[in-house]
Amino acid sequence: MAADILDRIVAHKKDEVAACRTQTPLSVLKDQARTKTANRRSFYEALARPADQVRIIAEIKRASPSKGDISADLDPAGLAQAYERGGAAALSVLTDRAFFKGGPADLLAARNACSLPVLRKDFVISDYQIYEAAAWDADAVLLIVRILSKQQLSEFSGLCNELGIDALVEVHTESDLAAAMDVGAAVIGINNRNLASFDTDIETAMSLSAKLGAGQIAVAASGISSRKDIEQNLKAGISRFLIGESLVTADDPEKFLTRLIGG
């Protein structure tokens, strides 16, 4: 059953984009996107430095297909501020409504409440969604290698550059990683979770990160829930993380984040 979830999500995204286009034509979105470039916060810089410290992208996620409701009525603004106080490098906000109960309003509320760069976390299958992200003031978008052709990956990376928005290129396998390297991805998210089966194995990022080139930033994503997980990754040379569920469900997300970062 889990195996076709990714296909369902992608099919849904295509319908969603088609519907959005009829409401807001691409030309209008393009104009909006171009007026936002001056407001951008650098997602890349936030992750690049300081090199010797743990850097965490803290996620705002209400629900997911694998877990159901996680924290369906969370307060995105309050959580963004707690994450910022706890030392987050950046935020990730789910903007998919159908499967994750998120939306653009969450992204806006979170970004307006803090000074951190914000990643639009969604299933990007069209350039339209990248213009949308830029128009909403997002600082970065997720590009999932598994759901894109080589040509789309290359086109979408180029468009991100053009719009001054960063891309977090998500991989799960060696061949995904090769495709990410081919487009010169600077920030590579290694998802420990297989998006089709939901199996999560935190060894995935540790073993794949060894294959990254110099100057590429590895971000271990999914299934990180303790300082012990972080320390294990640090030994493997990974010091950047994308963390959702364990932060969203923590009694005190600020304190928990501080503890994860250590030092």
Ligand X SMILES: O=P(O)(O)OC[C@@H](O)[C@@H](O)c1c[nH]c2ccccc12
Site residues for ligand X per CB under 6 A: 59, 61, 121, 170, 191, 221-224, 242-246
**Which of residues 3 and 28 has its CB atom nearest to ligand X in the complex?**
3
**Which of residues 113 and 260 has its CB atom nearest to ligand X in the complex?**
260
**Which of residues 56 and 134 has its CB atom nearest to ligand X in the complex?**
56
Q: Cβ-closest residue to ligand X?
A: 244
Residue found by looking up tokens 């053009």 in the block: 162
Taking Cα atoms as reference points, which of 61, 64, 50 lies closest to residue 83? Answer: 61
Torsion sign, CA atoms 221, 155, 115, 30: negative
CB of 28 to ligand X, least distance (A): 27
**Which of residues 36 and 171 has its CB atom nearest to ligand X in the complex?**
171
Q: Give the Cβ contact number of residue 1 at 10 Å.
A: 4
**Which of residues 55 and 121 has its CB atom nearest to ligand X in the complex?**
121
Torsion sign, CA atoms 171, 121, 62, 88: positive
Q: What is the four-CA torsion angle of 120, 83, 97, 190, rounded to 10 degrees?
A: 50
CB of 163 to ligand X, least distance (A): 21
Q: How far from 174 is each of 48, 142, 170, 190, 213, CA to CA, in Å?
A: 23, 18, 12, 10, 13
**Which of residues 212 and 260 has its CB atom nearest to ligand X in the complex?**
260
Residue found by looking up tokens 């598994």 in the block: 146
CB of 171 to ligand X, least distance (A): 10
CB of 243 to ligand X, least distance (A): 5
CB of 190 to ligand X, least distance (A): 10
CB of 101 to ligand X, least distance (A): 12
